[in-house]
Amino acid sequence: MIDNTTVVSTDAIPSNVFHRSLTYEPLQAVRAEGNYIYLKDGRKLLDGSSGAAVSSLGHGNKRVIAAILDQLQTVDYAAEELASEITKETDMARVIFVSGGSEAIESAIKLARQYHLENKQPERVNFIARQQSYHGNTLGALGLCSHKPRRAPFLPYFPTHFHHVSPCFAYHYKLSDESDEAYVKRLADELEAKFQELGPHTVAAFFAETIVGATSGCTPAVPGYFKAMREVCDRHGALFVLDEIMCGIGRTGKMHAWQWEDLSSPPDIQVIGKGLGGGYAPLAAVLMSAKVVNVFLAGSGAFINGFTYQSHAVGCRAALEVLNVMKEDGLIEQCYQRGLFLEKLLKEQLGNHAHVGDIR
């Protein structure tokens, strides 16, 4: 009989933290500086993934640390200043600050639903996302994404109102004799067919990552794709939502990845995170257009949502300083230029390699 007052361990890993793996002992870091993490055993590791894809400025940035310490000694809220800084980069009208990407996606789902309730269209209950997508680890976010291994244990809890269409992944799914334009039309026709299948008047929103993250390996869409998807959504009154939790905040050479796209207007709703706090504070945000805000103002004027650490002052101050450093040090333009150089180098060195199928 097992004594349930103690934990039986064959590996005797010295930790009281319930890690994702209970049989693997994580490396123990003692400090981090710049692009490097220093381990307890004396090794120095290059942080090639920027932590969990968050550390856009590297570790130990003195300006961000000073801003955090300053904020801890005042009761002033930094959310207004940060919201102004973010919205002036786009035509977005309002921002919600939360503590992580999954919370932000949950908020975006609720925002889209309540938008239609305020608009006197309660029948709009369906959400369409894409296969091979990832939007977060909470139940609503997992329902929206199609990451099968993460979803599998929780399938009984997902509502039936989340649906999926094909991703825009030219390397795998574009036909050999198909032009970009024809490929985009095929995907737009598929989205249109999904609207018709569900009933166009029942669709609340279409969600997509502007550049897909780890689930498909940093996959951008072909030119014209998002414009075509936006047109389908607009035609049927559904909201067009872009998830830039991983790909946003300067990583593509513009503040927002969708700014490279040929869109007549910004998305109705946009979600950002990860690089927003730069790894110095847990922070994510939901941006919304004036179109969305005006419907709420004409209706109840209230958004039924909220979290304990929403608009946390320290998180917002950290993010504000992260953005200041990015702009003042020219890091976004530098990211663009170095991206071009890396692309050129990879194509020169590996473009004809037998085991390399795509460089993106």
Q: What does the pLDDT read at residue 19?
A: 83
pLDDT in tens, 56-110: 999 999 999 999 999 999 978 899 999 999 999 888 999 999 999 999 999 999 9
pLDDT tens, 301-319? 999 999 999 999 999 999 9
The answer to whether the beta carbons of residues 141 and 193 sit under 8 Å apart is no
Of 26-30, 96-100, 147-151, highest mean pLDDT: 96-100
Show the 3-state SS of the chain. CCCCCCCCCCCCCCCCCCCCCCCCCCCCEEEEEECEEEECCCCEEECCCHHHHCCCCCECCHHHHHHHHHHHCCCCCCHHHHHHHHHCCCCEEEEEEECCHHHHHHHHHHHHHHHHHHCCCCCCCEEEEECCCCCCCCHHHHHHCCCHHHHHHHHHHCCCCEEEECCCCHHHHCCCCCCHHHHHHHHHHHHHHHHHHHCHHHEEEEEEECEECCCCCCEECCCCHHHHHHHHHHHHCCEEEEEECCCCCCCCCCCCHHHHCCCCCCCCEEEECHHHCCCCCCCEEEEEEHHHHHHHHHCCCCCCCCCCCCCCHHHHHHHHHHHHHHHHCCHHHHHHHHHHHHHHHHHHHHCCCCCCCCCC
Average pLDDT on 248-264 reads 94
* pLDDT of 323: 98
Structure confidence at residue 6 (pLDDT): 61
* Of residues 54, 6, 87, 43, the one with CA closest to residue 283: 54
Span 16-28, mean pLDDT?
Answer: 83
| Domains of the chain by residue range | 77-328
pLDDT exceeds 60 at position 2: no
Q: Which residues contact 133 (CB under 8 A, 6 or more apart)?
A: 144, 145, 146, 147, 164, 167, 207, 208, 209, 212, 215
Tokens 């244990």 correspond to: 153
Q: What is the pLDDT of residue 12?
A: 56
> What CATH number was assigned to the domain covering residues 77-328?
3.40.640.10
Task: Give the separation between CA 218 and CA 85, rounded to whole angstroms.
Answer: 27
Burial (CB count within 10 angstroms: exposed 0-12, middle 13-18, buried 19+), residue 127? buried
pLDDT band at 16, cuts 50/70/90? confident
pLDDT in tens, 164-185: 999 999 999 999 999 999 999 9
Q: Is the pLDDT of residue 3 over 80?
A: no
Determine the pLDDT at residue 195: 99
Q: Count CB neighbours of 250 within 10 A.
A: 22
Residues 256-267, mean pLDDT to the nearest whole number: 93
Instruction: Give me the mean pLDDT over the 13-38 stretch.
Output: 87
